[in-house]
């Protein structure tokens, strides 16, 4: 989705959400197993999408601005780790402001939690030489994957303007990475069209150029109407975009925050959902409950319809994502009879 929004997950480091007798033992065994697995085989995301019978679940986090936020982030990761995500990702703040922090958090998640973690990376405020320096650092740290983005204009700036000696579009960044580095490359896709695109057709044409430059997989901007995703995938395929397209889903937890995010990225809130949220405007708990129920149904339909995975915009919180993924793993909508009849998407 993009830039950081302050948030925080309740809970303590080391707390096992499936706690029962022997939970600490199970938690530490889980840790050892995932670390061993991680140490034995670093994960290239392009090689795991569609490789097994199950979809690829991933969780996005942002670098917090305060020590307390950081503590909450690692508590959320600890709580989400037992869900065995295929990978997690860490955003790159506006203006490249979190460069060091993004790389530090990605390294820590890989080393301490045994999870594959991917850094987001943008062209904002950097010359090509500076972009290369960061990519060299990612290589040195042993990263296997990178999400290549243009980035948004820094706060207070309406128009996108490229940095002198820098890059204009993400396709150029993809080209740079593909030319000189070994990373698996992800990029952004916009089912409801990028907010500053001149038209849906032009946006899709630029997406094709970007994928042809060397993108291995795409992750979409958040959306609340699955028809937008399915239609987008069909249009992309018709144009020859062949990379897997993983839908990005935001579990709604807070109405004011939802409106802020939706206005920043242009996501459409369907009328029915807006009505139900308005009806609960004074009841945060009821909003969060509806958010989980809505996102669970949304994900189930996407997976039954052939989406290759789900990327969750967690906002550094664990409860909603944990509930949704737990239910999905239990009911496995991608194996339902409905799924067998669906045309493959994603
Ligand atoms: P591009 O692919 O360069 O496209 C940007 C715009 O330019 C589009 O309107 C496109 O149609 C147009 N365009 C592309 N090529 C051309 C061309 N040759 N000629 C004319 N127009 C063209 N932002 C952050 O700052 N940090 C993050 O960590 C971050 N993570 C994200 C993660 C995901 C999954 C997503 C979906 C978005 C994320 N963003 C992040 C937001 C993203 O950086 C913005 O949406 C940005 O405005 C567009 O990035 P892009 O890589 O799609 O840009």
Mind giving me the DSSP string for 148-210? EE--PPPTT--S--PPTTS-SSHHHHHHHHHHH---EEEEEE-TT--TT-S-HHHHHHHHHHH
Are 176 and 167 in contact by the 8 Å Cβ rule? The answer is yes
Residue of 146 and 14 predicted with greater confidence: 146
Alpha-helical (H) ranges within the chain are 23-40, 45-48, 67-80, 99-113, 128-140, 170-180, 200-212, 226-238, 255-265, 271-279, 284-304, 319-331, 337-341
Domain limits, the chain: 43-340
- Look at residue 343 in the predicted model and tell me its pLDDT: 62
229 Cβ closer than 6 Å to some ligand 1 atom: no
Ligand 1 in contact with 162 (CB < 6 A)? Answer: no
pLDDT greater than 80 at residue 39: no
Nearest CA to ligand 1 atom 51: 149
pLDDT of 155 > 90? The answer is no
Integer Rg of the chain from CA: 19
**Phi and psi at residue 187, in whole multiples of 5°?**
-150, 170
pTM exceeds 0.85, yes or no: yes
Cα–Cα dist 263/1, whole Å: 12
Provide CB contacts within 8 A for 17, sequence distance 6+. Answer: 11, 79, 82, 318, 322
For ligand 1, mutation pick of 58, 97, 169 (most atoms within 8 Å of CB): 169
Q: Mutate which of 99, 150, 219 to test ligand 1's pocket (most atoms within 8 Å of Cβ)?
A: 150
Give phi and psi for 44, each to the nearest 5: -95, 120
> Residue 101: its pLDDT value, please?
94
Mean pLDDT over residues 16-28, rounded? 44
> What's 17's DSSP letter?
T
For the annotated catalytic residues, the residue numbers are 60
pLDDT at position 83 over 60: yes
Please tell me the distance from the alpha carbon of residue 11 to that of residue 19, in angstroms, as a whole number: 13
Residue 23 pLDDT exceeds 70: no
Which range is least confidently modeled, 11-25, 52-66, 88-102, 179-193? 11-25
* Cα distances (angstroms) measured from residue 298 to each of 82, 238, 292, 295, 341: 22, 24, 10, 5, 18
The ligand 1 atom at the shortest distance from the C-alpha of residue 203 is 11
> Does the pLDDT value for residue 122 go beyond 90?
yes
Higher-pLDDT residue of 73, 94 = 73
Is the minimum distance from the CB of 2 to ligand 1 under 6 angstroms? yes
Q: Render pLDDT for 187-212 as a digit per residue (tens, 0 to 9).
A: 999 999 999 999 999 999 999 999 99
CB 191 within 8 A of CB 229: yes
CATH topology of domain 43-340: TIM Barrel (3.20.20)
Predicted pLDDT at 148: 98
Q: Using a 6 Å cutoff on CB, does residue 219 contact ligand 1?
A: yes
d(CA 207, CA 229): 15
Separation between Cα atoms, residue 196 and residue 120, nearest integer Å = 20
Contact assessment for residue 250 and residue 268, using Cβ atoms and an 8 Å cutoff: no
Whether the pLDDT of residue 222 is over 70: the answer is yes
The total of other beta-carbon atoms located within 10 Å of residue 27's CB is 19
What's the whole-number mean pLDDT along residues 74-79? Answer: 98
């Amino acid at each position: 989705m993009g830039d950081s929004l302050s948030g925080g997950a309740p809970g303590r480091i080391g707390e096992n959400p499936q706690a029962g007798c022997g939970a600490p033992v199970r938690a530490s065994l889980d840790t050892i197993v995932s670390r061993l697995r991680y140490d034995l085989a670093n994960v290239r995301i392009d090689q795991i999408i569609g490789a097994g019978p199950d979809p690829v679940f991933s969780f996005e986090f942002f670098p917090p601005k305060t020590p307390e936020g950081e503590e909450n982030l690692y508590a959320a990761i600890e709580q989400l780790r037992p869900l065995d995500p295929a990978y997690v990702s860490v955003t790159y703040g506006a203006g490249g402001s979190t460069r060091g922090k993004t790389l530090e958090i990605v390294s820590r998640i890989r080393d301490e939690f045994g999870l594959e973690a991917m850094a987001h990376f943008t062209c904002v405020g950097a010359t090509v030489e500076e972009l290369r320096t960061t990519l060299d650092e990612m290589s040195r740290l042993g990263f296997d994957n990178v999400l290549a983005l243009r980035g948004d204009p820094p706060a207070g700036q309406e128009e996108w303007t490229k940095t002198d000696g820098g890059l204009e579009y993400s396709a150029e960044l993809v080209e740079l990475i593909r030319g000189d580095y070994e990373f698996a490359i992800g990029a952004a896709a916009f089912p409801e069209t990028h907010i500053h695109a001149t038209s849906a057709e032009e946006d899709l044409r630029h997406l094709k150029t970007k994928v042809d430059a060397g993108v291995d997989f795409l992750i979409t901007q958040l959306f609340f109407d699955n028809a937008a995703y399915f239609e987008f995938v069909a249009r992309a395929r018709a144009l020859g975009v062949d990379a897997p397209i993983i839908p990005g889903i935001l579990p709604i937890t807070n109405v004011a925050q939802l409106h802020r995010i939706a206005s920043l990225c242009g996501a459409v809130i369907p009328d029915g959902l807006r009505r139900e949220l308005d009806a609960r405007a004074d009841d945060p708990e009821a909003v969060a409950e509806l958010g989980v129920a809505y996102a669970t149904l949304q994900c189930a339909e996407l997976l039954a319809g052939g989406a290759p995975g789900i990327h969750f915009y967690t906002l550094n919180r664990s409860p909603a994502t944990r509930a949704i993924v737990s239910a999905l793993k239990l009911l496995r909508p991608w194996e339902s009879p409905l799924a067998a009849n669906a045309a493959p998407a994603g």
